[in-house]
Structure 1
Amino acid sequence: MKYLAQFGIIIAITFAGELLNRLIPAPVPASIYGLVILLILLLSGLLKVSQVKETSDFLIAVMPIMFVPPAVGLMESWGILSGNLIAILVILVVSTILVMAVTGMVIQALAKKSGGESK
């Protein structure tokens, strides 16, 4: 029953994100609204990590399975994608390097702010 209650909390937060997505005319995905709501609830103490931990761990454990349908969709679209393969690869490489660089700079800034040592 604990897992069902935890899943209900996660679904309620996801639903709130969907509502915000419909109400706010901004190009922000509903999942981002849901994550922000979850972050606010956790930081404010209104929601404890223990109230969603087990179900969250389970959802993270089965996450690779969630990538199977999109991968199959990409394989079915190979005819369309193959004509733009070079452009797609360039975008993938550039965006990966950019994300890695920005993530590294953010981590270094956070480490300096918290007094930790960064190498």
Structure 2
Amino acid sequence: MPLALFILVGCELLGEIIRTTCHLPVPGPVVGMFLLAGALGLRTRLTGTRTPPAPLKPAAETLIANMGLLFVPAGVGLIAQFGLIRQQWLPISVALLGSTILSLGVTGLVMHHLLRRNPPPSISPTAATAQGQAPTPVVPRPDQRPAA
């Protein structure tokens, strides 16, 4: 667990260093998150394993289990700035609604293009057998085939 926390904090620190050095308009922890995702993606390509590294899994599960506590500072900030929020409720509401609609639209387009490029199998062999149909063979994609 300490190694995993060191990796997570190290990625956050590296992201903050990159943000400061390159004058990026993105928070350092977000840059660090992309660095960690890139490192995990590179690890998947090199080793072929899609499971997370052993030290990261318990740390991630612990953080996810206690995620509610991580929202307490944001809630306190909202209460502390309630007067400003009351004055600026319309622009805040428009921004929230607009960003939500934009996020849903972009997510839908990305999923549409990803599913068009990589369609899922129509029905699983066990579900086909349960429905009285002959199971169709599932052929793994080239990147999922075991190495010879």
1:38 deviates by 0.6
Distance in 1, Cα, partners of 2:118 & 2:80: 48
Structure 1, unmatched stretches of 5+, are none
What's the counterpart of residue 32 of structure 2? 34
The one-character-per-residue Cα deviations of 1:12-58 (angstroms, maximum 9, x if unpaired) are 11111111112112212212220121122111118971231110111
CA contact 2:12–2:32 (8 Å) conserved in 1: yes
Distance in 2, Cα, partners of 1:13 & 1:23: 15
1:116 deviates by 2.9
1:49 to 25, 47, 52: 52
* TM-score normalised to structure 2 length: 0.69
Between 1 and 2, higher relative CO (CA 8 Å, sep ≥ 6) is seen in 1
Task: Give the letter aligned to residue 87 of structure 1.
Answer: P
Larger Rg: 2
Pick the structure with more helix per residue: 1
Q: State yes or no: 1:99 paired with 2:103.
A: yes
Specify the SS of the correspondent of 2:24.
coil
Task: Give the letter aligned to residue 49 of structure 1.
Answer: P
| Runs of 4+ more than 2 Å apart | none
Q: State yes or no: 1:77 paired with 2:81.
A: yes
Distance in 1, Cα, partners of 2:12 & 2:80: 30
Q: Share of identical aligned residues, percent?
A: 30
Q: How many residues end up aligned between the 2 structures? A: 115
Residue range with higher mean Cα deviation, 42-51 or 65-74: 42-51
Task: Give the letter aligned to residue 79 of structure 1.
Answer: G
Say what the alpha-carbon RMSD is for the aligned residues: 2.0
CA contact 2:13–2:29 (8 Å) conserved in 1: no
